[in-house]
Structure 1
Amino acid sequence: MGKVIPHSLFTDYDINLFKSGKHYRLYDKLGSHPMELNGEKGTYFAVWAPTAKSVSVIGDFNYWLEGDHKLYVRWDESGIWEGFIPGVAKGNLYKYKIRSHNQDITTEKADPFARYSEQPPKTASVVWEGDYKWKDKAWMGYRKEKNGLDRPYSVYEVHLGSWKRTDDNKFLSYEAFAKELVSYVKEMGFTHVEFMPVMEFPYDPSWGYQLTGYFAPTSRFGNPEEFKKLVDTMHQNDIGVILDWVPSHFPEDAHGLGMFDGSHLYEHPDRRRGYHPDWKSLIFNYGRNEVRAFLISNACFWLDQFHVDGLRVDAVASMLYLDYSREEGEWEPNIYGNNENLEAISFFKELNEYIYGNYDGVQTIAEESTAFSGVTKPVYLGGLGFGMKWMMGWMHDTLEFFKKEPVYRKHHQDDITFSLTYAFTENFMLPFSHDEVVYGKQSLLYRMPGDEWQRFANLRLLFGYMFTHPGTNLVFMGGEFGQSSEWNYQHSLDWHLTNYDFHSGIQELVKQLNHIYKNYPALYEKQFSPEGFQWIDYGDAENSVLTYVRKGHDKKNDLYVACNFTPVPRENYRIGIPSAKKALAEIFNSDDKKYGGSGMHNKAIKVTKNSWHGHPNSVEVTLPPLSVLIFQ
């Protein structure tokens, strides 16, 4: 193994961009890059460690000994150490051993820009070089149409480690997911899949939200090219791929980003802004140019190298507020004396401006749980620039309403209608995510009151209401077939339940709702606009019934929705009809026997000139128990 040869991939322009926080393709420069130099094969290494007094590459090629392969520090005060090591090739293991000027601290770190890592609990980085040939040219050409805000967006949220496992409880591989998961998502009719974090993480109970390898798909399921194949196969089947992305915090693991070069390099040095008390993790320093470039480069890496169609940004609220989860005296106000993190706000604006300006047909989605204004407004209008935001208030209010025994729901009608007072203030996605089925909250099914039939009827009603409410949709895996137990990341979903009629009925219902959502423009063309929704009657609390209209561009495509939140059938129930149609057809009924319902249907629904609900026309229908009906 030869000595380190001075070499650089950086130009002066690269360095200037890096120092100013504007280099968004750092993954092309930093990290390990197999290459040939003067006819000799080897690997170029580059790492940012400005307070280091020496940086050695240690690995399986030098017995993990320090000193044989010391990198050279650049002269330009960028803090970058670099060099070419002959003979190091794809598959070699390595770390950086960093001796700091800061109190002689020595650290051994995984490469922040590594493309591949050892499988946890091992922690070394792996030299990697990909040669994947993409086959999704068609998708990449028309995904702008598929991913638009006026298109169907029905998301299946997946934790790869527990969606399905082998009979002996081992992980499936990326290649197995490319067959089984793709086939299932396509059959169920979801338009997108969202993966909980796939970036390398050391600790399974974190579910992937404590990252140490931001540029490496986790090796638990295979190598980076195999993950690319999974994304590619999704695209070839017209399924978009969203990744959970975590720029909010990172763990203090010894091989991770914390105290990287013996200093607070990636994390904020002030503990009040650099440590997260809830997750016992470190918070990025959003005011440091090089850290912003690291994070935005990481977002671009997944969009660029892995053809990802969207990023769901985790824990946005924790980034926006200096006092998030902090008591008085544990945080310091900004220069204006309030609690907003101005540096994080600036970071989000820069991130979204760059992504939407440089990647066609992608979306960024904020998991933001507060009433922060303008999350999905464009940056040029003063917003943060996200494409969508999770509607956490809707989710909490809806689940609280559904938990109540139907006899009491008439006293809480306002809880289920309140969301429409703010539904169009942002571009909202309606989430029933993994967070709602853990830590004693119970599964969606077992949150429902009543006997077995009523529980399943309530769940069918919940999904029907969700798919007809304005906004896009997200369902966590298992919910779509009525998983009865809470989610357990250590085991497969209970797929055997789909052998039972009630569970297979829920599965069939979600499949049909996806079909209707994709095929009826009234449900998506104006899903973020008040023009796409009209109440018929939200005041019938005595019967716990809601009726409303969903509208698209063409009035003849209007859909009429009726929800009955009690187990009492409502016969001859009159609903006002805004337009002068002659008849309505029932196109969906959650009480259909094929879904596990009682089978009460409406056949010929004649529109009469009897005024009702302030409209000149009306119809009389039967509302089955605990049901959603859609008419056209």
Structure 2
Amino acid sequence: MYKILEIDPYLKPYQDDINLRMELYEKAKKRLLSSGQTLSSFANGYLHYGFHQTDNGWFYREWAPGADSLSLKGDFNGWDNHSHPLTAQQNGDWEIFIPGKNALPHKSLVKVHVTSKGSEFDRIPLYINRIVQDPHNNNSNGMIWAPEEEAREVYKWNVKAFSLSTTEPPLIYECHIGMSSEEGKINTYSEFMDNVLPRIKKCGYNIIQLMAVMEHPYYASFGYQVANFFSASSRFGTPEELKQLVDTAHSMGIAVLLDLVHSHAATNTLDGINEFDGTDYQFFHAGNAGQHPAWGTKLFNYAKPEVIHFLLSNLKYWMEEYRFDGFRFDGVTSMLYHHHGLGEAFDNYAKYFSMATDTDAVTYLQLANELIHDLNKNAVTIAEDMSGMPGMCIPIEYGGIGFDYRLAMGVPDYWVKTVQTRDEDWDLGKMWYELTTRRPKEKNIGYCESHDQALVGDKTIMFWLADSDMYWHMDLSGSLNIDRAIALHKLIRLVSMSLSGEGYMNFMGNEFGHPEWIDFPREGNGNSFHYARRQWSLSENQNLKYQFLLEFDRAMINLAKTGDMLGLNHKSKLIRLDNDSKIICYKKGDYLFAFNFHMNKNNTIEVPEPKKHRILLNSDDKQFGGFEYSSCELDKARNNISIKLNPRTAIVIKCD
């Protein structure tokens, strides 16, 4: 019996399903790996396929089982469709050797000409590591990226080995390189490194999660319609500049995660992997099964060994070539079920183990996690799964899927609904339930909002709370509505950070209550960059109140980083919950958290606590835009702590 059944006794009726999960995982490894082979040595597709330079020429290889012929073309041969044909090998492989070390010069443009079932068309090589778009016609080409060793383009790593501290919880700053500039433009890797990384370091976050790095033709897709899986987006700069960004983050003690999209792919054929060999089933399910009904994207067939090889090789490539420290897997719910989670409530365990479950996808995720942690035992993997699949963050040998964390996706949904109701209607009992309920022994990344909650058509928490007053009353004179919004913004972040996970995540700019929403340049907004940027100067303007939210976030993150409170073994212990007075008080280890969510009532909380105490964080402090009423005193006669809280304030106390 696998240990997951002891961890979660409610799974015992589904023991056969857990056994099947593990049986399929073991069978997949036997099917994929030859004698003595490891997943790491298996996942070397990028070292074989694609372009590889030797002392006397270039090898170019592809996997295209449905093609009748392939020919390499580019500016090196005058874009001739037929002068450089590839030779068919076994199992759908194709190969050509082009003599001459400089036969394919650095930065030369290439495509592959394919014939299949009577049709001819051009495609981008599958394993190409750089794509460039022609700004005049949006036509894309592969680019040979092979700078000479002596050239300035070759990046020399400064940090030889990096590992995130195991004593700190993951404190994640979710980033989009392109929209990280205050100017109305697409920002670069280098500009992000110079101007944004220092801000993140000062805020105390120890992980950055980079979105939209994998090449995507449509900028407004936020990077979630990937076309070229081995190419870092050329919109933001060169491969060496991305490497320098990662290297610099490591030198600051900051780990770097890649927002990974293996759940689906762009439908693009001219500049993507779709129909590369002329079939719709090379990488994806054939017909309607290969189409995501809501996203309009292509769905991988995880049952095919070649697809598993491609995807696992992709993971190893990003870890080895760019030294990413792990991945946030996007769209895991869509992967896990044939219905992709659409319209499902997941209100009982049977729904996780029905015919709707894509067991091939479950197996792939297990293999992916095993590979990642084999390559780097301290790597971090995070699953974006809203279904609550049991065992997502349980070790594989226990019967789990092997992720380190899952995103606490129900928490931001809860806050979006809550901030649209009257303060007096907030149910603290429901708040406690929503923030503390999760699967046993599975770690969560808590957060109250991410990029999802800031997209056009929605609002950030600060914008929900303050609305249009943010345009007119964020100066120091303020308004009652702004004071309310600032106070609640601090409380929401503190209670979410401390209760909803063993780690915490924030989207860039939201730490200081970034105004408005995110909307990328597109035809519908006149191709404007106005909402696809970050107004950092707002937080630096001493005449505006954004500075108070930034200071509070820095103090909160520093507390989470230095205080031992977010570990899996530090359970939240409820001390007092009074919904009428809007008081909630709880302990985590030696840390006492006290909140007053009441709109106008001063509250005093008496806590039996004979130990010495120190106030570590007080949201009512002046430096955080507070009014300095809230306090904490030791009542020796009554042997307790008396905590006085202004309306909409919170205090964190360390009991020594």
Q: TM-score, normalised by structure 2?
A: 0.83
Matching residue of 1:118: 132
| CA deviation after TM superposition for structure 1 residue 381, in Å | 1.1
Asked whether the equivalents of residues 265 and 299 of structure 2 are also in contact (C-alpha less than 8 Å), the reply is: yes
- Please state whether the residue corresponding to 2:95 is helix, strand or coil: strand
Asked whether the equivalents of residues 48 and 81 of structure 1 are also in contact (C-alpha less than 8 Å), the reply is: no
> How far apart, in 2, do the equivalents of 1:191 and 1:203 lie?
30
- Deviation per CA, 1:245-267, whole angstroms, max 9, x where unpaired? 00011111122111110113443
Equivalent residue in structure 2 for 1:462, among 471, 489, 492: 492
- Please state whether the residue corresponding to 2:55 is helix, strand or coil: strand
* 1:304/1:341 CA distance change after superposition, 3 Å: same
- Deviation per CA, 1:277-328, whole angstroms, max 9, x where unpaired? 1111101110110111110111111111111111000000000001126689
Alignment: residue pair count: 577
Matching residue of 1:533: 572
1:435 aligned onto 2:449: no
Matching residue of 2:483: 453
| CA deviation after TM superposition for structure 1 residue 216, in Å | 1.2
> How far apart, in 1, do the equivalents of 2:578 and 2:492 lie?
18
| CA deviation after TM superposition for structure 1 residue 357, in Å | 2.1
Q: Which moved more, 1:363-372 or 1:448-457?
A: 448-457
Asked whether the equivalents of residues 60 and 97 of structure 2 are also in contact (C-alpha less than 8 Å), the reply is: yes
* 1:609/1:288 CA distance change after superposition, 3 Å: farther
Matching residue of 1:80: 94
Q: What is the correspondence of 1:183-194 to structure 2 with a 5 Å cutoff?
A: 183-194=198-209
| CA deviation after TM superposition for structure 1 residue 412, in Å | 5.5
Matching residue of 2:112: 96
Q: What is the correspondence of 1:60-459 to structure 2 with a 5 Å cutoff?
A: 60-74=75-89, 76-86=90-100, 87-100=103-116, 103-119=117-133, 121-129=138-146, 131-137=154-160, 139-140=161-162, 143-144=163-164, 146=165, 148=166, 151-166=168-183, 169-255=184-270, 256-324=272-340, 338-409=355-426, 411=427, 413-422=429-438, 424-431=440-447, 432-448=449-465, 451-459=481-489
* 1:327/1:154 CA distance change after superposition, 3 Å: closer
Asked whether the equivalents of residues 182 and 234 of structure 1 are also in contact (C-alpha less than 8 Å), the reply is: yes
> How far apart, in 2, do the equivalents of 1:85 and 1:310 lie?
38
* 1:520/1:129 CA distance change after superposition, 3 Å: same
| CA deviation after TM superposition for structure 1 residue 90, in Å | 1.8
Report the RMSD for the aligned CA atoms in angstroms: 2.5
> How far apart, in 2, do the equivalents of 1:358 and 1:162 lie?
31
> How far apart, in 2, do the equivalents of 1:157 and 1:399 lie?
19
Asked whether the equivalents of residues 30 and 46 of structure 1 are also in contact (C-alpha less than 8 Å), the reply is: yes
| CA deviation after TM superposition for structure 1 residue 481, in Å | 1.1
Asked whether the equivalents of residues 559 and 630 of structure 1 are also in contact (C-alpha less than 8 Å), the reply is: yes
Asked whether the equivalents of residues 381 and 404 of structure 2 are also in contact (C-alpha less than 8 Å), the reply is: yes
Matching residue of 2:538: 497
- Please state whether the residue corresponding to 2:58 is helix, strand or coil: strand
1:547 aligned onto 2:585: yes
Q: TM-score, normalised by structure 1?
A: 0.86
Asked whether the equivalents of residues 446 and 484 of structure 1 are also in contact (C-alpha less than 8 Å), the reply is: yes
- Please state whether the residue corresponding to 2:631 is helix, strand or coil: coil
> How far apart, in 2, do the equivalents of 1:462 and 1:341 lie?
36
Matching residue of 2:51: 32
Asked whether the equivalents of residues 59 and 95 of structure 2 are also in contact (C-alpha less than 8 Å), the reply is: no
Asked whether the equivalents of residues 278 and 325 of structure 1 are also in contact (C-alpha less than 8 Å), the reply is: no
> How far apart, in 1, do the equivalents of 2:653 and 2:549 lie?
20
Matching residue of 2:473: none
Matching residue of 2:647: 625
* 1:44/1:503 CA distance change after superposition, 3 Å: same
Matching residue of 2:553: 510
- Please state whether the residue corresponding to 1:163 is helix, strand or coil: coil
Matching residue of 2:64: 49
Instruction: Tell me the amino acid that sits aligned with residue 289 of structure 1.
Output: P
> How far apart, in 1, do the equivalents of 2:52 and 2:465 lie?
54
- Deviation per CA, 1:574-600, whole angstroms, max 9, x where unpaired? 2233xx31x322110112111111222
Instruction: Tell me the amino acid that sits aligned with residue 155 of structure 2.
Output: Y
Matching residue of 1:472: 503
Equivalent residue in structure 2 for 1:485, among 502, 516, 534: 516
| CA deviation after TM superposition for structure 1 residue 359, in Å | 1.4
- Please state whether the residue corresponding to 2:179 is helix, strand or coil: helix
Asked whether the equivalents of residues 179 and 185 of structure 2 are also in contact (C-alpha less than 8 Å), the reply is: no
Asked whether the equivalents of residues 107 and 261 of structure 1 are also in contact (C-alpha less than 8 Å), the reply is: no
Asked whether the equivalents of residues 55 and 96 of structure 1 are also in contact (C-alpha less than 8 Å), the reply is: yes
| CA deviation after TM superposition for structure 1 residue 609, in Å | 6.6
> How far apart, in 2, do the equivalents of 1:571 and 1:478 lie?
32
> How far apart, in 2, do the equivalents of 1:269 and 1:173 lie?
36
- Please state whether the residue corresponding to 1:504 is helix, strand or coil: helix
| CA deviation after TM superposition for structure 1 residue 92, in Å | 0.9
> How far apart, in 2, do the equivalents of 1:61 and 1:421 lie?
60
Matching residue of 2:620: 591
Q: What is the correspondence of 1:565-576 to structure 2 with a 5 Å cutoff?
A: 565-576=597-608
> How far apart, in 2, do the equivalents of 1:326 and 1:536 lie?
39
Instruction: Tell me the amino acid that sits aligned with residue 591 of structure 1.
Output: D
| CA deviation after TM superposition for structure 1 residue 346, in Å | 0.6
Instruction: Tell me the amino acid that sits aligned with residue 462 of structure 1.
Output: I
| CA deviation after TM superposition for structure 1 residue 56, in Å | 0.4
Asked whether the equivalents of residues 584 and 607 of structure 1 are also in contact (C-alpha less than 8 Å), the reply is: no
| CA deviation after TM superposition for structure 1 residue 16, in Å | 10
* 1:564/1:504 CA distance change after superposition, 3 Å: same
* 1:423/1:576 CA distance change after superposition, 3 Å: farther
Asked whether the equivalents of residues 86 and 94 of structure 2 are also in contact (C-alpha less than 8 Å), the reply is: no
Instruction: Tell me the amino acid that sits aligned with residue 33 of structure 1.
Output: H
| CA deviation after TM superposition for structure 1 residue 458, in Å | 0.8
Asked whether the equivalents of residues 66 and 92 of structure 2 are also in contact (C-alpha less than 8 Å), the reply is: no
Asked whether the equivalents of residues 267 and 274 of structure 1 are also in contact (C-alpha less than 8 Å), the reply is: no
